[in-house]
Amino acid sequence: MKILVPVKRVVDANVKVSVKPDQSGVDLTSVKMSMNPFDEIAVEEAVRLKEAGVATEVIAVSVGVAQAQETLRSALAIGADRAILVESKDGVEPLAVAKILKALVDREQPQLIILGKQAIDNDSNQTGQMLAALAGLPQATFASKLVVADGKATVSREVDGGAETLSLTLPAVVTTDLRLNEPRYVTLPNIMKAKKKPLEIVKAEDLGVDVTPRLKTLKVVEPPKRSAGVKVADVQALIEKLKIEAKVL
Ligand code: AMP
């Protein structure tokens, strides 16, 4: 059974980004980039399924600029077997990414596609759902547990006020939530081994997908600065302020 894992190169989660002066977006010059954290969880889950003998091959795919090869090498170091870079400009929109992934699903015929629930740069939370729709596949989003057996995937997902368990017939699309697993630390020998694993580069046009943007960013602004707080003399003054000014008591 093949598993396809889409991984996105995004600004590292620990970087504090700043908005460009012309408000056209976030300044990415000399900023550390990493694999989207939810995608790391997706790769880890796929590799665990391979180690458990459930999957036979894990294929990582990224849509993006040439540097996304580094992200793919990280996926290979976690344990993916091979990688595909669909080379394009940065910022391909979720619908175009989903169309590209659909073309790869047709080509590779994976039984399972595990994506992150969202990319932390655009917070879209769209690609997995759109891929499932385009490919006509069942989907379970925000998975916190995944069991694959007998041609079925059983997925636990957190919903309002509880947990839901779904059974999906394969092939299927699953998106990861934070609780699914804790990705392993990548060891140096595995980083070295990853350098020798196959990484194919194709262009979006080769897959017959038009990546022309359909959305226009009007402006990006920093969140409003928090104003300084007020110091109160004692508990009595605090209670009065909460009662009279904030009216929360
Ligand atoms: P989004 O819908 O943009 O929030 O992304 C959800 C998930 O789709 C990510 O966690 C990735 O698994 C996948 N994805 C989105 N964009 C890309 C990309 N450019 N390359 C590879 N995978 C992507």
C-alpha to C-alpha distance for 97 and 115, rounded to whole angstroms:
12
Q: What is the DSSP letter of 244?
A: I
Amino acid at 240: E
If you take atom 9 of ligand 1, which residue's CA is the nearest one? 116
Q: Look at residue 223 in the predicted model and tell me its pLDDT.
A: 86
C-alpha to C-alpha distance for 139 and 152, rounded to whole angstroms:
12
If you take atom 14 of ligand 1, which residue's CA is the nearest one? 8
Q: Report the residue among 35, 78, 114, 127 best suited for mutation to probe ligand 1: largest number of ligand atoms under 8 A from its CB.
A: 127
What is the CATH architecture assignment of 2-244? 3-Layer(aba) Sandwich (3.40)
Along the chain (249 residues), what's the average pLDDT of each consecutive run of 10 residues? 98 93 91 97 98 98 97 98 95 96 98 97 96 98 97 94 95 97 96 97 94 93 87 94 90
Q: In what order do the strands lie in the sheet with 57-64?
A: 162-169, 152-159, 139-149, 172-176, 112-116, 2-6, 57-64, 82-87, 199-203
Q: If you measure from the C-alpha of residue 165 to the centroid of ligand 1, how many angstroms do you get, rounded to a whole number?
A: 24
